[in-house]
Structure 1
Amino acid sequence: MAKDIVNPNPSGFFDDVCSYFDYAAQFTNHSAGLLNQIKACNSVYHFRFPIRKGHNVEVIDGWRVEHSNHMSPTKGGIRYSEIVNQDEVMALAALMTYKCAIVNVPFGGAKGGIKINTKNYSLAELENITRRYTVELIKKNFIGPAIDVPAPDYGSGEREMSWIADTYLTMNPGQLDALGCVTGKPIALHGIHGRKEATGRGVAIATKECVSIAEDMKPLGLSPGLEGKRIIVQGLGNVGYHSAKYLAEFGAIIVGLCEFEGAIYNAAGLDLEAVMTHRKETGSILGFKGSTGFNNSADGLEQDCDILVPAALENQLTLHNIAKIRAKIIAEGANGPTSPQAAEIFIKNGGIIIPDMYCNAGGVTVSYFEWLKNLSHVAFGRMDKRYEENTSLNLINLMEKMTGVNLSPEQKKLVVKGPSELELVNSGLEETMIRAYHEIREIKQSNPKIHDLRTAAFVGSINKIAISYMNLGIWP
C-alpha cells in the first residue's frame, strides 16, 4: 500500500474511512464532485431526550446517520455504548454504504448510536430508552421499511429490535409492511432463521474462501484450505463467538481467545464451548484449564497464529502493536479494527487483510433476506419445500422401478428433502460472500497498482455507487 494513504494525525474513525476512500478513488475515473457526493454523509441527526432513572431525570444522547441515499431504504445497526460518538456513527454509516455495494445488497448505508452503558440500566429503563429513541426517529422520518431500517449492533440484539418494531407498529397502525422497519427481530416477531449468527458465519466463509486460493497462500508459506490453520479471535460477543464456532467447524484450530478481562492461549487448541462454560461459571476466560493466561487482552493478539480475527471494537491494531502481530492474515470481524497506518505496515510486510466492509457483511446480507421476508409476508421455503420433496420422491420411485434397486428409508431421507428457511438463508449467505470475494480479488488482480483487498473492495463499491447516482440522472 502506497504512502498516500497515511494520515499522520488522524482526527477520528470517519477520517480513517475517508482516507481509505480517497486512496481507492485514484483508481477510478469519476469526477471529483461525484466522489465527494459518495463520500459525504447525507444526513446527520443528533438528538437528546430525557428519561426517568429512579427519582432522577437523565438526558440521553442519540444519533442516526444516513450516509448515502443512492438506494432506499438505508440500512444499519444501532450501537449501545457509553463511548459512542458522532464521528464513530458517521464512520460506521459510511462503511455500511460501501459494504452493501460490495455484497450487492440494494441498500444505502446508515448507522445509529445511543450513548449509554447498558449495565447501568434496568430492563425497564433500557426498554424506555429504546422506545423513546424510536419515537425520536419516527418524528423526523428517520425510520421505516422504505426509508431507513435499523438492525442490532454492539450492545443491542433481538430484544431491542422487538421493542423498536412494536413502537413503530403502534405509531403506524394499518401499515402493511410495518415489521420491515427493523431487522434482527426474534423469529416470533417475523425475524428470520440464521440472522443472529449471520455476521460470524460470514466472517468464517470469507476467511475460508481467502485461504482456499493456493496462489495467494504460497507467498505466506501456507497450504490452501482452513484445515489445521491456527486462529486467534478477539471478542466473544455475537460476532466473535460465531466466527470462532464456524471456523472450528470448517477445520481450523482456535488457539487463542481475547476478551476485555484478558486473553488465553493454547498452541494445541482451545475447546470454544468449554471456554464459554468456564466463563459463565467463573465470570472470566482466565484460568481455563490447559491455557496460558494474559491479564492484558492486547497481549493475546501478539501470540503465534496463522489468522487473527479482531471481532471486538475499532482501532485495536495500530502503529503501537502491529509489528508484534505474528498472524499472516487478518480477518476483520469488527468494523475498523486496523488503523490505516497499521494496515499499510502489515500489507507491506506481506500480510493479507480481509477488510471489514466485506468480511463482516454477513449480517446485512441476512438482514436483507429478513427485510424481503417481511415485505413478501411469507417465510422462505414455505411455498416450495413440499413440492421439492414430492418431486424428488417421484424421481426416486421411478429410478427404483427402472433399476430394481430400492433405497433404504435412511438413504431416501438424504435425497428426498426440501430446504428449510435456515438452509436457504445459509445457502444465500454463502453464495453472496463467495461471489463478492472473487469480485474483489478480480479487481486487485486486474490492476497491478492495487496491492490489497481493501483498496480493491473500495474501488468496486465506488464504481457501483457511482453508477446508481448516474442512473438517478444527477451526473451525466
Structure 2
Amino acid sequence: MALTAEKEVVKEQTVCGMMDNVMQQFNKAAEQIDLNPNIKKILSITNNEIVVNFPVKMDNGEVEVFRGYRVQHNNALGPYKGGLRYHPTVDIDAARALAMWMTWKTSLAGLPYGGGKGGIQLDPIKYSKAELERITRRFTFALADNIGPEHDIPAPDVNTNSQTMAWIADTYMSTRPPAERSANQHVVTGKPSGSGGLQGRDRATGYGVYLTIKFWTEKKNTSLSGKKFVLQGFGNVGYWAAHFLENDGAILVAVQDAYGSIENQNGIAVESLFNYTHANKGSIVGFPDAKAMQDKAFFATDCDICIPAALGNQITKDNASQIKASVIAEGANGPTNAEGEKVLLDKGIAIIPDILCNSGGVIGSYYEWLQNRNGELWQLDEVMAKLDKKLKESFNKVYEYSERHALDMRTAAYCIAIARIEKAYTERGIFP
C-alpha cells in the first residue's frame, strides 16, 4: 500500500505494557486534579469492545479468516474517533490503550469527539492490493452499525491510508438506504481528496509534530535553524515532519525504520531519501548519502531533537539513558513507556507528549468531517491556517499549565484533557 499513514513501522519491542502506561499516566493526572472518584471509575474502563472474525477469499481461491477489533473508550464529548491499523501486534489490549489515548487527545484539542481505536491483526505486506481491498470491505461489513458518521468515525493509522478509507466509505455507504448514502460520506476521515477528503489531511499529523517542536523552541528563545534531529519512522508522519523541519533550517542526521538505521551527521536530504524509499520498496536501507548504523545505536545519536514516529514502547529504561536530545517529540502513540519517561525527565529532557504532538491528524480529521457534514470545500491554505491556530492554542495551554503547576508536559496535557471530560459528566449527571 503506497505511502501508508504510518509506514514507519519499526520493530516494536512489545505492545505489552501499553495499557499499564496509559493507566499510569491517567492515574497520575487524576490525582493531580483530584478527579471525582465516580468519574474516574467510568474513565478507567472502555464503553464497548467489538471483536469480529470474518472470512475472505484470497487470490488463490483459498479462504482465510481474519480477526478485527474496534474499541470504543468514551463518548462523553461526542462520537468515538480514532484510527484503524493493520499490523501483527493488533490485539484487544493494544486497542484499549490506543482508544484511551484518543479520548485524551480529542479532549485536549477541544474537539467534539470521544476516543476509539481498532484494526486487523495482519501483516499487509503479505497480501495483494486486491486482497487488502476485500479484507477491508469485509471488515467494514462485519463492523456493521458499530461505526457511523455520528457514532464512531475511523481514520488511517499504521499501515492504512486514504485508499483504505475510500474502501470503507464506499462499503459503508453501499449498505445504507439509497436516500441516505450521500449523507454518510463522513463515516471515515482521511479519504482521498477526490472522494471527500480534506486538502492537507495527508500532512496534518507530521505538520503538527513540526509545529509543536517549533513552538517549544520558541518558548526556549531559540530557533530550529541548525538544530539536528533524528527520526524513527519514515512514513507519512515521519516524512512530513522531516519535510517541514528541514524547510525551517533543521538538519536530519539519522533515520530508523523497520528495515534498518542510517546516519549522516552532515545531513540527510529529506526529499532525496523520500524518493529513494519509493524506489526501494519503502526501505531506507542502502541510501547512498548515509552510512548504515546498528539499530541499538540509533537513540544514542548526537542530536538536539528526537522524534519517535513509529509504534509504541520504543523508548524504555534500556535506551532512554543513551538519548542526547534536549526534547522528545512523540510523533507516535505511546512511544515512551513509564520507566523510560522517568529516565528522560530525571535527565532534564523535555517530552512533547503524543496527545499534543501528533494531534494534528485528528484535528485535520475534524475539519474533514465538518467539510463533508456541511457540504463545504476548503483550500489547502485555509486548512493549514486552521491547523496552525488550533495547534498553537493547544500547545500554549499545555505549556502554560505545566509551568504554572510545575508539571511535565504530559501530566499537564492529561490534566487539561481529563478535566474537560469531568466537567461534561458533572454538568450532565450520570444516567439514570
Is this a same-fold pair by TM over 0.5?
yes
Query: Which position in structure 2 is the counterpart of 1:309?
Result: 307
Larger radius of gyration: 1
Query: Which position in structure 2 is the counterpart of 1:99?
Result: 105
d(CA) in 1 for partners of 2:195, 2:286: 40
SS of the residue corresponding to residue 146 of structure 2 reads coil
Instruction: Tell me the amino acid that sits aligned with residue 151 of structure 1.
Output: A
Q: Is the contact between residue 239 and residue 274 of structure 2 (CA under 8 Å) also seen in structure 1?
A: no
Q: TM-score, normalised on structure 2? A: 0.93
d(CA) in 2 for partners of 1:65, 1:177: 25
Query: Which position in structure 2 is the counterpart of 1:467?
Result: 423
d(CA) in 1 for partners of 2:393, 2:342: 26
Once the two structures are TM-superposed, the CA of residue 28 in structure 1 deviates from its matched residue by 0.8
Aligned pairs for 1:50-199 (under 5 A) are 50-53=55-58, 54-138=60-144, 141-172=145-176, 173-175=178-180, 176-199=182-205
d(CA) in 2 for partners of 1:110, 1:306: 34
Q: Superposition RMSD on alpha carbons, in Å?
A: 1.6
d(CA) in 2 for partners of 1:211, 1:298: 28
Once the two structures are TM-superposed, the CA of residue 55 in structure 1 deviates from its matched residue by 3.2
Once the two structures are TM-superposed, the CA of residue 444 in structure 1 deviates from its matched residue by 1.0
Alpha-carbon displacement from aligned partner over 1:68-104 (angstroms, at most 9, x marks no partner) = 0102211101000122111111111111000001111
Unpaired stretches in structure 2, ≥5 consecutive residues: 1-14
Q: Pick closer, same or farther for the CA change 1:372–1:350 going to 2, 3 Å.
A: same
Aligned pairs for 1:383-398 (under 5 A) are none
**Comparing 187-196 and 46-55, the one that deviates more:** 46-55
2:298 corresponds, among 300, 306, 316, to 300
Q: Is the contact between residue 79 and residue 113 of structure 1 (CA under 8 Å) also seen in structure 2?
A: yes
Q: Is the contact between residue 34 and residue 475 of structure 1 (CA under 8 Å) also seen in structure 2?
A: no
Query: Which position in structure 1 is the counterpart of 2:396?
Result: 438
SS of the residue corresponding to residue 312 of structure 1 reads coil
Q: Pick closer, same or farther for the CA change 1:23–1:185 going to 2, 3 Å.
A: same
Alpha-carbon displacement from aligned partner over 1:19-50 (angstroms, at most 9, x marks no partner) = 11101111113221111212321111111111
Alpha-carbon displacement from aligned partner over 1:411-455 (angstroms, at most 9, x marks no partner) = xxxxxxxxxx1111101111111110111112111213x2x1000
d(CA) in 1 for partners of 2:57, 2:286: 41
d(CA) in 1 for partners of 2:393, 2:431: 29
Q: Percent identity?
A: 38
Query: Which position in structure 1 is the counterpart of 2:9?
Result: none
Instruction: Tell me the amino acid that sits aligned with residue 137 of structure 1.
Output: L
Q: Is the contact between residue 261 and residue 297 of structure 1 (CA under 8 Å) also seen in structure 2?
A: no
SS of the residue corresponding to residue 67 of structure 1 reads strand
d(CA) in 2 for partners of 1:66, 1:87: 12
Query: Which position in structure 1 is the counterpart of 2:19?
Result: 14
SS of the residue corresponding to residue 89 of structure 1 reads helix
d(CA) in 1 for partners of 2:374, 2:279: 44
SS of the residue corresponding to residue 202 of structure 2 reads coil
Are 2:44 and 1:39 aligned? yes
Q: Pick closer, same or farther for the CA change 1:281–1:374 going to 2, 3 Å.
A: closer
Q: Is the contact between residue 82 and residue 153 of structure 2 (CA under 8 Å) also seen in structure 1?
A: yes
Query: Which position in structure 2 is the counterpart of 1:263?
Result: 261
d(CA) in 2 for partners of 1:281, 1:297: 22
Q: Pick closer, same or farther for the CA change 1:16–1:88 going to 2, 3 Å.
A: same
Instruction: Tell me the amino acid that sits aligned with residue 393 of structure 2.
Output: R
1:331 corresponds, among 329, 332, 338, to 329
Q: Is the contact between residue 77 and residue 107 of structure 2 (CA under 8 Å) also seen in structure 1?
A: no
Q: Is the contact between residue 260 and residue 297 of structure 1 (CA under 8 Å) also seen in structure 2?
A: no
Q: Is the contact between residue 99 and residue 116 of structure 2 (CA under 8 Å) also seen in structure 1?
A: yes
1:213 corresponds, among 219, 223, 232, to 219
d(CA) in 1 for partners of 2:296, 2:325: 14
Q: TM-score, normalised on structure 1? A: 0.84
Runs of 4+ deviating beyond 4 Å: none
d(CA) in 1 for partners of 2:199, 2:214: 22
d(CA) in 1 for partners of 2:194, 2:163: 11
Once the two structures are TM-superposed, the CA of residue 287 in structure 1 deviates from its matched residue by 3.5
d(CA) in 2 for partners of 1:275, 1:124: 28
Aligned length: 414
Query: Which position in structure 1 is the counterpart of 2:274?
Result: 276
**Higher RCO, 1 vs 2 (CA within 8 Å, ≥6 residues apart):** 2
